[in-house]
Amino acid sequence: MNQPSIAPQIGGDFSNARIAYIEANWHNDIVSQARTSFTRSLNARGITDIQLSTVPGSLEIPLQAKLLAKTGQFDVIVAAGLIVDGGIYRHDFVASTVLDAMMQVSLDSEVPILSVVLTPIHFHEHEEHHTFFFNHFLKKGEEAANACLMTLENMEALGKARTG
């Protein structure tokens, strides 16, 4: 289910929020589109402190998230990657491992980790799939920004977010 592409009506000033953004380099030409729209959306709301970390692939996201969470410097961590079927790893194994580990890090650290890790079935390297997922990651970046704002608002209500 897709979220609306318009920003939610969030009342707080989150210009002091610190966001960590982890991006897997596998299929980076596609995955980076989420960062583009995520950053643009949050910058429009005055959130500019977004620290980018890159990792080789999606399997490396959970450890990077854990290391970032342990610093205590970030209100929210966002992770983006593309896990495709085929190749040397089983698609379902990698997807489950990455998403389960991200959730565990979030629960253990109490730092929200938002996922833009997509796991399409039957991804192919041809132009049609490339174009579809290129555009889809742009949409997912906007949705992640909206989720980030909602999460910051929830955290603010609990006294756990940096507000302006």
Catalytic positions are: 90
Tokens (6 digits) for 52? 């980018």
DSSP-based three-state secondary structure for 2 = coil
- d(CA 83, CA 105) in angstroms, rounded, equals 19
Residue 105: what residue type? Answer: V
Distance CA 112, CA 154 (A): 11
Query: Of 145, 144, 137, 139, which is closest to residue 30 (Cα–Cα)?
Result: 137
Residue 7's nearest CA partner among 155, 149, 156, 135 is 149
- In what helix (H) or strand (E) does residue 104 lie, and over which residues does it extend? helix 91-109
Q: Are 13 and 46 in contact (CB under 8 A)?
A: yes
